[in-house]
């Protein structure tokens, strides 16, 4: 199946009892057994639920993976991955990543003796100096949040395999429509399903996709034992959202290109971060491993005044000021005070996340309306 067909059909079958074309919401906590331990594959909904099973199979197919597991949030999925490790283990992570990932790494798991190295991954070979006998995981986002850096997944995978280290990729910004890290050598793909996969800003969920059977068993044990599983209604909503993922992503990419070009030529904009530009430092890698460049854009203002950024954000209309991203509606945010506030200011500024930086999640509205919205807001600042 091609991607659009997989999005609609993979893992999903008509309900055998009624012929319903949509997977039912199995709103049940438990299942009747014929005899102790003799059941139809389902005994308790924390462990398995038919609606969740359909979604997990669908997600695995979209990422060209074998096993999918869903969690109650993206951070719930990250939590499960780090629980594969033991005290004394070390993780090499990109230094440009979602603030919530940084927070759970440093404020939760470092307390249990797991050490994290936050490093630039623009050159895969440069991370080898951080690898030692205690290194058990390499963690990457690409494109990164919010600086839109592109990490060479195949290059990092080569380093990980050389040292027998697990390699996990947060594929939230790209989605499986644009990029498939398992095909490029990653061991684990993680998604905040809340974002593009759900696509309608009405559900919170996370997912992990892997190929290795043993790794899948380990993660499924953590999923069940720790209990961070989504409910069937949320799974139903995501299954519905995924059916239009390929159509939505085409429009996100189209609008993203238009808005990025508009901002790059605006006299009050200092710099635009979007991997589709030929002068983006990782543009060639993006061309190689992605099918298009997405609808996420960050930009900074001339003068770098936080007051100017706030004025713009307060006066946008179609770009709603809100946390999150990836919905059909456009969103804007101020990472320094919102999504990345948990990262110390000096660490943010090392990677270029300055106070005037604004992050846009470009939706699927008419691009001319979005350009006019930005024009009016930018006209307010001097």
Of 98, 102, 196, 273, the catalytic one is 98
DSSP string, 250-262: HHHHHHHHHHHHH
SS3 95: coil
Query: Which secondary-structure segment (H or E) carries 158?
Result: helix 153-162
Identify the DSSP state of 104. Answer: I
Q: At what angle do helices 367-380 and 245-264 cross, to 10 degrees?
A: 40
Pairing state of beta strands 331-333 and 320-321? parallel
Q: Is 170 a catalytic residue?
A: yes
pLDDT per residue as tens, the chain (382 positions): 999 999 999 999 999 989 999 999 999 999 999 999 999 999 999 999 999 999 999 999 999 999 999 999 999 999 999 999 999 999 999 999 999 999 999 999 999 999 999 999 989 999 999 999 999 999 999 999 999 999 999 999 999 999 999 999 999 999 999 999 999 999 999 999 999 999 999 999 999 999 999 999 999 999 999 999 999 999 999 999 999 999 999 999 999 999 999 999 999 999 999 999 999 999 999 999 999 999 999 999 999 999 999 999 999 999 999 999 999 999 999 999 998 988 899 999 889 999 999 999 999 999 999 999 999 999 999 8
Pairing state of beta strands 166-170 and 188-192? parallel
d(CA 350, CA 364): 33
Q: Is 136 a catalytic residue?
A: no
Q: Is 133 a catalytic residue?
A: no
d(CA 20, CA 14): 5
Question: So where are the chain's domains?
Answer: 10-240, 245-380
d(CA 364, CA 196): 12
Query: Which secondary-structure segment (H or E) carries 50?
Result: helix 50-62
Pairing state of beta strands 188-192 and 320-321? unpaired
Of 79, 96, 152, 170, the catalytic one is 170
Report the pLDDT value the prediction gives residue 348, as an integer from 0 to 100: 92
Which of 54, 48, 45, 67 lies closest to 24 in space, CA to CA? 54
| Domain range 10-240, its CATH number among 3.40.640.10, 3.30.70.20, 3.30.465.10, 3.20.20.140 | 3.40.640.10
Sign of CA dihedral 248, 249, 255, 256: positive
Q: Is 34 a catalytic residue?
A: no
Q: At what angle do helices 50-62 and 232-242 cross, to 10 degrees?
A: 30
Architecture of domain 245-380: Alpha-Beta Complex (3.90)
In DSSP terms, 30 is beta-bridged to 44
Around Cβ 90, how many Cβ atoms within 10 Å? 18
Q: At what angle do helices 213-226 and 74-82 cross, to 10 degrees?
A: 120
d(CA 326, CA 324): 7
Of 6, 52, 83, 195, the catalytic one is 195
* The model's pTM: 0.96
Of 46, 287, 291, 302, the catalytic one is 46
Query: 144 with 172: CB under 8 angstroms?
Result: no
In DSSP terms, 207 is beta-bridged to 70, 191
């Amino acid at each position: 199946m091609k991607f659009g067909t997989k999005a609609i059909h993979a893992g999903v079958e008509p309900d055998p009892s009624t012929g319903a074309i949509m997977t039912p919401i199995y709103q049940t906590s438990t299942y009747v057994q014929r005899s102790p331990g003799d059941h139809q594959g389902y005994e308790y909904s924390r462990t398995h639920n038919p609606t969740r099973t359909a979604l997990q199979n669908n997600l695995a197919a979209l990422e060209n993976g074998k096993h999918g597991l869903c969690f109650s949030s993206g951070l719930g999925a990250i939590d499960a991955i780090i629980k594969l490790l033991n005290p004394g283990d070390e993780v090499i992570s990109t230094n440009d990543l979602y603030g919530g990932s940084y927070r759970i790494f440093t404020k939760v798991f470092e307390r249990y003796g797991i050490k994290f190295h936050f490093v630039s991954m623009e050159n895969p070979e440069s991370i080898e100096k951080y690898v030692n006998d205690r290194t058990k995981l390499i963690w990457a986002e690409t494109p990164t949040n919010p600086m839109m850096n592109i990490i060479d997944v195949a290059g990092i995978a080569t380093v990980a395999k050389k040292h027998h280290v697990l390699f996990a990729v947060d594929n939230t910004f790209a989605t499986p429509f644009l990029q498939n890290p398992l095909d490029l050598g990653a061991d684990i793909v993680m998604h905040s399903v809340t974002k593009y996969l759900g696509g309608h800003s009405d559900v919170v969920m996370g997912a992990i996709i892997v190929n290795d059977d043993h790794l899948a068993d380990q993660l499924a044990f953590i999923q069940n034992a720790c209990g961070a599983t989504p409910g069937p209604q949320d799974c139903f909503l995501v299954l519905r959202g995924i059916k239009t993922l390929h159509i939505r992503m085409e429009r996100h990419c189209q609008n993203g290109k238009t808005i990025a070009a508009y901002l790059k030529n605006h006299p009050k904009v200092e710099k635009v971060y979007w991997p589709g530009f030929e002068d983006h430092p990782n543009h060639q890698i993006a061309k190689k491993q992605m099918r298009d460049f997405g609808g996420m854009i960050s930009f900074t203002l001339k003068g770098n005044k936080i007051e100017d950024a706030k004025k713009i954000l307060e006066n946008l209309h179609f770009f709603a000021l809100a946390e999150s991203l990836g919905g059909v509606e456009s969103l804007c945010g101020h990472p320094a005070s919102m999504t990345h506030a948990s990262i110390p200011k000096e660490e943010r500024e090392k990677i270029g996340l300055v106070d005037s930086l604004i992050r846009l999640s470009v939706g699927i509205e008419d691009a001319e309306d979005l350009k006019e919205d930005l024009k009016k807001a930018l006209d307010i600042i001097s």
